[in-house]
Structures are given as structure tokens and as C-alpha cells.
Chains A and B, each alone.
Chain A
Amino acid sequence: MKLAIDIARSLLMARWRQTLVAAIGVTFSVGMFVALLGFMEGLNGMLDSLFLNRTPHIRLYNEVKPAAVQPVMLLPAYRSGHHFIHSVKPKGSRTEIHNSAAIMQALRQDGRVAGIAPKVAMEVFFNEGPSDIAASVNGIDVLQENALFHFSEYVQAGDPASLEKVPNSIILGKALAERLLTDVGERVQLTTPGGERFTLKVVALWQSGIQDFDRIQSFTSLATARKLSGKTGNFVTDIQIRLNNIDDAPALAKMYGQMFNTSAQDVQTLSAEFETGSFIRSLISYVVGITLLTVSGFGIYNILNMMIYEKMDTIAILKATGFSGKDVRRIFTIMALSIGVFGGLAGLLFGGMLSVGIDQVPFRTTSLPTVTTYPVSYEPFIYIIGAVFSLLFTWLAGWLPSRKAGTIDPVIIIRGK
């Protein structure tokens, strides 16, 4: 074995330029693969987070709907038979989640839940001169909202923390603020569905990057929102849940809905097209990656193949002087694998450096204010695939010709002269 390694090394070093070219071939393809897949994974992650960053995995709320059990069904006299009831209407418009404090307490103790954020959602009219502009006000807990949904990252101007400090304050969507002709530090007037009028101070502007969203969204503290809706205490219309594992969402949503007697919506149901888009994007990057690997694999195969066929004389001499086919095979496999190991390692390094380079290129997008350069993924599995591939393909590329070299009678080669 040691002799085989020595011979392989001498053969490689004797033609070090050719060896270098072969190794560079491996380096280049592995490096390109790592950089490209890292870049695509990074972009994928960014596109996913565009949606997932701001979306709760499960949302608990109370839908306004008619009672499932109508009074007539409860009467013993009419227990039997079928009930035909026309024009069923919901009773009242109670959007509050009943017993929300206890539900939140229970959720906080659930190990599968990463965090929860309560919300008070309502519709209002902003008054700008004679015109009324319809918009939503969301009462939020800024601290929780930050922890779960990166709320502050989307704030363009002003300080989101002032929401809790300044009484009667509001954060407006950027497009909404433009419609209202206001800016940070100014005041806006709004009318609640109950007909009451409030004046709130604008402390910050918020931008999601989705224009339609920014035109109608605004945020206040939970306490201010409760005041606007004329409710007190624990009034909460939504509980947003973020899970440790997003794949649990559909099952848990169903369970929570039954357990807490509320409506529950999971992210997968909310946005099936998101799932599809994410899947298609991953599929594309893997197809591109595999294509790249296959193409470069053939390149590596060609180089190694040529290298070994050039050494046919050497093979004949080794065999004539007492080396067996197995020894010859071993020598060439060692040659191929060492090219794979060194070329592959250099390739991982090269790919990593390319990734770092791409990571420096400025890239700004309004929808993701935290992103300033092109996103690149440094996921270990990309590097593992690259390493495994370089070894596997050089081994394969060396295996086929070395098998031939191992079985050929030396006299065939000598005679061919």
C-alpha cells in the first residue's frame, strides 16, 4: 500500500503541470457549485423570509359567524326531524377571543411554541380634511412583535419603541402617511367604528414593501387600541403563534382550534401558493446544481481518463516487472482520489471565497430593509455535497480507466509500439 502511494505520488509529481490542470478542473467545478448553490439558497431564503418573517405560523381569532347550534334544536319537542332554518344571521359581532389570558398562559407553557404575540385588530377612518380614508389599526406588543416578526426592521423612520412610551401614539404605513400628508412627530385624527374621534401622534413610519399593505396598515400599542375600541382589560382579537417547527402548524392549528374553541389558521392553509413557490425555487436550484455537477463531472472524467491512457507504457512496465493488475488499479485510484481530495478542498475554499465575494455586493430592496448585500447561504450541506461529489466523481473517473489498465495484458501495450 505504501509502495502504491509512493509510486502514485511520483507519477503525479513528475507531471505536476498536468496534475495541476486536473486538480484545477475539480477545484473550479466544486467551487462554482458551492458558490452558485450558496447564492441560490441565499436568495431562496430571502424570498421565503419575505413572507415567513411577518406571518404567524398559527393565528387564533374569532370569526363572526352564526351559531352552529340554533335554539330550535335545543327544544326537546323538536329534537327529532330535520330543521329548515332560513336566513340565519350571526348574533352580535364579538371578535374578542374569550378567556384570552388563560389561552396565552397555556400556549406559553407549550414546548412546541416558540413565542406568541397578542393583537387587537380593528378598522377605522382616518380624517384628512373633508375626506375619510379607511385603514386598519393593529394594537401590538412591540417587544413581542419584534422578537417574532422583526417588526422594528421594517420601520423606516422614527423609533418603534416610543409606541409604548408615548401615550396615544401611532405608527403609520409609509404610503398611508403620504396619503394623509403627515410625517413623524405630527398628529393624525381618526374615527372609530363606534363613532368616537381620537387624535394620535405619529411616532414612526413602517414599510413592508408591499404597496397595498402600506396604504392601509397602522400600529398602536395594545392599550391604545383597547381605548380606541372602547374595551378594557384583556381584550384581544388575535393571538399570533410562532412555532419551533413550521411543519407542525396544520396539525397544531386544528388542535388549538378545538381546545380553545376559536378559529385557527395555519400558514400553510393561508398561503398554499407560497409553499408551491418555495418548493419550485428549491427544485430549480437543485436541478441547476446537479446539471453543473454532471457537466463538470464529465470534464473531470475526461482529464483523468487522458492522464491514465498517457501512462499506458508505465502500466505495461509495472506489470512486466511483477506488479499485478490490482497494484496498478490501486496506484491509479490513489492518483485519481488525491486529485479529488486536493482539488475538492481547494474548490470548497474557492467556493467559500466566491460566496464571501458575492456577499459583499450591495443589494437594496424596499421590502427587506435589513438586506444590504446579496444574500448567500453558507449551509454546511452545500459544502458536504461538494466534497462528496469531488471524491465520488474523481473515484469514478479513475475507476473506469484504471480497471481497464488493470486487466490488460502488458504484451498488448508493448506490442502496440
Chain B
Amino acid sequence: MGEIILEARNVNKYFHDPVEVKVLDGIGLSVNKGEFATITGKSGCGKSTLLYILSTMDTDYEGELNIDGEQMKGKNEAALARVRSGKIGFVFQFHYLLNEFSVLQNVMLPGLKLNRFPPAEVEQRAMAKLDQLGIGPLAKRKAYQLSGGEKQRVAIARALINDPCIIMGDEPTGNLDKKNGELVFEIFRRLAEEYRQTLLIVTHDQEFASRTDRVIRMEDGKIVQS
């Protein structure tokens, strides 16, 4: 057992519309540093909902959430944005790149926002991340000129730019074909093995899940295996 990066205690979440439904029921979960964990479960079991809460993007829940030893409940919107900026990298099912910007700029934006390094250094680091993921030559292209697999790799580079404590992914391979999905998985695996990067990925792909360190299985808003 290593250092705990992320810990959720007794998290409940309700959807109010159209009728009150309890989607998360007493979730307790902790993720250690360097762990490559996946959350799996059938559609509608609440795995994405849980991930959005863990990533601080959804603030409408009951319970406690600690990230890197910090209590998240009760923080205001700006403070949560700072946490997301510095400690969490997020990869969506859809790449969610900004089409108005080039690949390099897309990767740089969170780094520029965090302002931990001067712009020139952020650019250097962004370039390094892109090279690391094998898409360095695409840096000057616009985001919409890339293929799906390339876009997802750019999104991963963007998630990495601020050296986050944890990378979260919501079905990052869900929208990719077999080959690209494999490529993205390989990147995650390499990050976990070579860089001791903590990863928490939501997926319904059983094969993907089975190859990771730890599988957290959910059913009807509850964790049934972790």
C-alpha cells in the first residue's frame, strides 16, 4: 500500500429530474499513488457520474472527497478549478479539443492557465509530451485536421501537461477502433509503468479493464468489487 492520492467516503448522488433517483449509493473508494485502476460496470450503473464527482466537475453530491490530502467538499468554484488545473488531468470519450486552436496550443492552454512555468517553458514541455506520445509532427496542425486516434492522444498530452497527481478518463477508448484503442491503452500502460502515473479510467470494455492493476466493478450505484 502506497500513499493515497484520491479518497471518496460515503458519496451519495441523486438525479432530481424527472423523479428523484439515487444514482450513487454510499460509495467508498481510495486510489493509491501509481495505481492503474479502472471502473467498470454496465451502462447506467453510475460509473461516469462517479468519475465526474471524483474529478470535481460535478459539485452536486453528498459525502466526502479528498484529493492529494485536501478536502474538496465546501471549496468554491475557483478553488476547485485550481485543483483541476494542478492535480487532475482529464481525458473524455470524445477528445474535446478546441478546434479554434492548434494542437500545440490545445496542449499548452492548461499549462498557461496554471502559470507554474513561463510560456516558453510550457511550450517546450508541451512539445515534449507530444513527442512522447508520438504526435510531435502534428503540433502545428489545427485540432480538427486530426484523426480520432490522434485527437485522443493530443487530449492525453493535454491531460499530462501539468504533471497531474492523477489522470482520469471517461471511456477514453470508447469512441476508437480496435487499433487506436490499443494504442491509447499502451500509452496509459506505459505512463503507469514507466512514469508511475496514477490513472483512474472508466470503461465498459472488459478486456481493457482486465489488463489493469485494479478493477473496480459497479452495479446500480454501488461498488461491488474493488
Partner-B contacts on A (CB < 8 A): 3, 7, 10-11, 13-15, 313-314, 316-327, 407, 409-411, 414-415, 417
Contact = CB atoms under 8 A, between A and B. Distances in A.
27 contacts: A3-B113, A10-B105, A13-B100, A313-B96, A317-B96, A317-B97, A317-B98, A318-B98, A318-B109, A319-B81, A319-B84, A321-B84, A321-B90, A321-B109, A322-B82, A322-B84, A322-B86, A322-B88, A323-B81, A324-B78, A324-B81, A325-B77, A326-B78, A327-B113, A409-B59, A410-B57, A414-B92
Contacts of A417: 94
A316 B95 CA distance: 12
B90 A320 contact: yes
Interface string B203-218: 0000000000000000
Contacts of A321: 84-85, 90, 109-110, 113, 158
Nearest to B78: A324
B44 to A, nearest CB: 13
B114 interface: yes
B112 interface: yes
Interface string B45-67: 00000001001011110000000
Nearest to A9: B100
Interface in B9-68: 52, 55, 57-60
A324 B158 contact: no
Contacts of B109: 7, 318, 321
B71 interface: no
B81 A325 contact: yes
B112 A327 contact: no
B17 to A, nearest CB: 12
B124 interface: no
In the A-B complex, the 9 residue pairs with the closest CB atoms: A322-B85, A324-B81, A14-B100, A321-B110, A324-B78, A411-B52, A411-B58, A411-B57, A322-B84
B99 interface: yes
A330 to B, nearest CB: 12
B114 A314 contact: no
Interface string B139-174: 000000000000000000010001000000000000
Contacts of B94: 417
Contacts of A325: 77-78, 81
B101 interface: yes
Contact of A409 (B58, B86, B105, B114): B58
A326 B90 CA distance: 20
A334 to B, nearest CB: 15
B98 A324 contact: no
A314 B100 CA distance: 9
A97 B101 CA distance: 85
Contacts of B82: 322, 324
B58 to A, nearest CB: 4
B100 A320 contact: no
Given A409-B59, A411-B58, A14 B99 contact: yes
B162 A322 contact: yes
B81 A314 contact: no
Nearest to A311: B100
A404 to B, nearest CB: 13
A318 B81 CA distance: 10
Contacts of A316: 96
Given A317-B96, A327-B81, A417-B94, A322 B57 contact: no
Contacts of B101: 10, 14
Given A409-B59, A411-B57, 9 more contacts: A319-B57, A319-B81, A320-B90, A321-B90, A321-B158, A322-B85, A322-B113, A325-B78, A414-B52
Nearest to A6: B112
A323 B94 CA distance: 19
Contact of A320 (B57, B59, B77): B57
A3 B78 CA distance: 17
Nearest to A326: B78
A321 B113 CA distance: 9
A145 B80 CA distance: 78
Contacts of B58: 409, 411
A261 B158 CA distance: 91
Contacts of A322: 81-82, 84-86, 88, 110, 113-114, 162
Contacts of B80: 324
A409 B105 CA distance: 24
Contacts of B99: 14
B155 to A, nearest CB: 10
Contacts of A317: 96-98
Contacts of B112: 3
Contacts of B97: 317
B50 to A, nearest CB: 12
A320 B96 contact: yes
Contact of A323 (B52, B55, B113): B113
A76 B57 CA distance: 104
A314 B78 contact: no
Nearest to B84: A322
Contact of B77 (A3, A13, A324): A324
A327 B59 CA distance: 19
A80 B152 CA distance: 114
Contacts of B92: 320, 414
Contacts of B110: 321-322
Contacts of A327: 81, 113
Nearest to B96: A317
Contacts of A410: 57
